[in-house]
Amino acid sequence: MNILLTGGAGYIGSHVALSLLDSGNDITIIDNLITGNKEILPKNINFYNCNINNKKKIKEIIQSSQFDILMHFAGYIKVEESVYQPEKYFENNTKNAISLFETCLENNLNNIIFSSTAAIYGNPKNNNPITENVILEPLNPYGESKMRTEKYLLANNDKFNSIILRYFNVAGADSQLRTGLISDEATHLIKIISEVAVGKRSKILIYGNDYQTLDGTALRDYIHVSDLADIHVEAAKYLLKNKQTNVFNCGYGKGYSVLEVINEANNITGNKIKFEFSKRRRGDAEKLVADVNKINKYIKWQPRYNNLKKIIESSINWEKKINEKNL
Ligand code: UDP
């Protein structure tokens, strides 16, 4: 396959780029390097430093090759920031994404894989794992911005064949440490735990211990980023074969509480992860666990890292590496 990938210098995009290359595909990456980092771009690939709303340049790029699929990762992803700067999220994650899709369509590229998020579900009322067809009620502008883009693709399914992947909590790093999460202001749980593990921070705050869960801390479905990357490769094959729009949850279907994750990290590090309880964070849901029946039915996918210990270990190993390299 020949894939055009936006956001390939970002966390998930760079892992997907590696999975595609490792399985013998061709890729071209577009990234404006605002939140992305050149250090984690795969070597010897076509790379363009370009905004996704630069219609002229994107047109030239699309016309330079016969792409099978656009995979669109470029986007802002910080929930709390989106609460304070909603316009930034609607501008980039919705308006610019739609402009990119239109440019693709104008140049006969109509197969799209879109990075969406479990944040579009909000706080589902019932306690079961979340299926793709529940009502979407995002709690924050980040989720809202992704939901609007999904709606555009779904409303235009006569023009586009698209696969919308709703990521649950993505964590961990490439087993060979070729890439991982680089963030100047980390917000994600396992990233922050890793920073504590390598001594970059003294402790972690647990946001809320008064949720209706077994230990009072919030539940999430953590998926290893390399498994998520493999899903994209298989979803791409599925899309080219079936040429149909579809929506899939991406997770393992099992929830861990914040305390359970910290306890596992403490087993790994010999109790290096000091923590304190703090108040709830704005925009956070109580429980987000995927119902994965649909993806398991349609996409040929075998998880390789469905193990919390492996996820945390790979994240800490990556943190050690970037700490030494000052990234
Ligand atoms: N969390 C926490 N302390 C932190 C970072 C995160 O207690 O320093 C909690 C957060 O409130 C949520 C869970 O960990 O319940 C996962 O948060 P993360 O930011 O990793 O992902 P999100 O689910 O918000 O996308």
pLDDT digits 0-9 by tens, 212-254: 999 999 999 999 999 999 999 999 999 999 999 999 999 999 9
Number of domains composing the chain: 1
Q: Does 131 map to a domain?
A: yes
Give the start-end residues of each E strand in 109-160: 111-117
Quick check: helix, strand or coil at residue 156? coil
Structure token pair of residue 15: 């892992």
The CB of 79 under 6 Å from ligand 1? The reply is yes
Q: Does 263 map to a domain?
A: no
What's the Rg (C-alpha) of the chain?
Answer: 19
Residue 192 CA, closest ligand 1 atom number? 8
The CB of 284 under 6 Å from ligand 1? The reply is yes
What is the rounded average pLDDT for all residues in the chain? Answer: 96
Q: What are phi and psi of 15, to 5 degrees?
A: -70, -40
Q: By C-alpha distance, which of 238, 254, 257 is closest to 291?
A: 254
| Residue owning the nearest CA to atom 11 of ligand 1 | 207
The CB of 146 under 6 Å from ligand 1? The reply is no
Please write the tens of the pLDDT for every residue from 87-134.
999 999 999 999 999 999 999 999 999 999 999 999 888 789 999 999
Q: By C-alpha distance, which of 75, 71, 64 is closest to 20?
A: 71
Q: Does 19 map to a domain?
A: yes
CB 322, CB 180: distance < 8 Å? yes
Residues in CB range of 176: below 8 A, 6 or more apart: none
pLDDT-derived band at 284, boundaries 50, 70, 90:
confident
| Residue owning the nearest CA to atom 14 of ligand 1 | 189
Between the CA of 319 and the centroid of ligand 1 the distance, in Å, is 18
Q: Does 98 map to a domain?
A: yes
* Torsion angle defined by CA atoms of residues 74, 14, 239 and 151, in that order, rounded to the nearest 10 degrees: -20
| Opening angle at CA 188, ends 10 and 70, nearest 5 | 30
Q: Does 303 map to a domain?
A: no
Between the CA of 214 and the centroid of ligand 1 the distance, in Å, is 17
Question: Given phi > 0 = left and psi -120 to 50 = alpha, else beta, which region is 7?
Answer: left
Q: Does 197 map to a domain?
A: no
Annotated active-site residue 48? The verdict is no
Which helix (H) or strand (E) segment is 36 a member of?
Answer: none
Q: Does 42 map to a domain?
A: yes
The CB of 189 under 6 Å from ligand 1? The reply is yes
pLDDT-derived band at 44, boundaries 50, 70, 90:
confident
Domain CATH for 228: 3.40.50.720
Which residue segment(s) compose the domain that 127 sits in? Answer: 2-172+222-251
